[in-house]
Amino acid sequence: MTEQIEIESQCSILDENGRPAHFGWARRPLYVFERDRLHAPRRYVTEFDRYCFFSQTHLFLFEIEDAGFLGSIRITCIALRDKKTVKTIYTSSFTLGSFNLPSGSEIGSIRLHQKRALIEFWTRRNGFRIIKIDIPLLAHGISLRGEVVLIEPEGAQPLLTHSGWHRERGAFRYSRTSPWYFVEGVMQLGSQDVVFTRGNASCVFDWDRGRRPKTDVQYRARGCGMFKKKQISFALGYSTADTDAATENAFFIDGKLHKLNQVTFQISPKDWLFPWQFTSADGKIEMTFRPVLFETARNRIFLHSIGLLQFFGYFSGKVLQDDGQFFTFKNITGFAERRKTRF
């Protein structure tokens, strides 16, 4: 088990020649991404933003991806108890940066028009994020409208990772995950008002920028919720990237980051809806995921493709805190996914 490299002072993810540098992880936004230094053709660059907010009864997923030749906006609305899904996907070819996604995760906003749909994500310097949605026709004659505010817990720490690929030295992924936002607001799904209140609703924010490899298979799991008056959240994942310097794995209690090393996803090959098991090489986490439903998405042009398989449900288990004590939790809402890309 290799020792991960924690970045503790500000540095650039690219050197003066535009090559990836300073691989590792940080608990603060210390990395600087100077997009102008990246000399790769725009078709090789991938930018991805995701907001997933949920309560025990509903889950809303907004994903925006610009992968050069392929672009998409995916919206998924799920009634977890009823196991009902309403979703849509807006696809674009040859986006090549036209979504104008910000180069930093701390600042910048997104405003997208697709047909009659308006989607806005606003970032405020005080730690607040605002999501506004106005989609007259989402699917099956159902509309989606509303506004929610995302609020950081006091002293919350994000997980930032910067990884490369041994077999493709110019490829890298710079990512941030903040799986601990409180949520306040209302989403009107058709005639139903879904109300989110602080302490009873959570949000996971994922943000990726990088030069992609030719092929990749990525697994991720995210969850957040309240248990025994504490906010419990986690970010787990792995891919074909080199993770010697940093893994994408951490657990958060009231926003405080507890770093994990390698985590193994144990999935039944016969039935992916059978409970998943998660264990870590450092013995810090044991967790079970109980999926209740799944969704698929695929985007393709020529020989380029992005395939996504997402599962939604509840997580239970235990985690070893930095003070040496295990914390046990049950039925934390979240999702797990497998993502395959080929370019």
Q: What share of the chain in percent tops pLDDT 90?
A: 78
C-alpha to C-alpha distance for 84 and 252, rounded to whole angstroms = 30
In contact, 227 and 318? CB cutoff 8 Å: no
Give residue-wise pLDDT tens across range 197-217. Answer: 998 999 999 999 999 999 999
Buried b (16+ CB within 10 A) or exposed e, 53-87: bbbeebbbbbbbbbbbbbbbbbbbbbbbeeeebbe
* Confidence at residue 163, expressed as pLDDT on a 0 to 100 scale: 97
C-alpha to C-alpha distance for 320 and 326, rounded to whole angstroms = 4
* Confidence at residue 293, expressed as pLDDT on a 0 to 100 scale: 94
Q: Residue 139 corresponds to which amino acid? A: A
Q: In the CATH scheme, what architecture does the domain 40-342 have? A: Beta Barrel (2.40)
Residues in the chain: 343
Residue 1 has pLDDT above 70, yes or no: no
Q: What share of the chain in percent tops pLDDT 70?
A: 99
Sign of CA dihedral 58, 338, 140, 114: positive
* pTM over cut 0.85: yes
Give residue-wise pLDDT tens across range 136-159. Answer: 999 888 999 999 999 999 999 999
Give residue-wise pLDDT tens across range 76-95. Answer: 999 998 999 999 999 889 99
Extents of the domains making up the chain: 40-342
21 Cα distance to chain centroid: 23
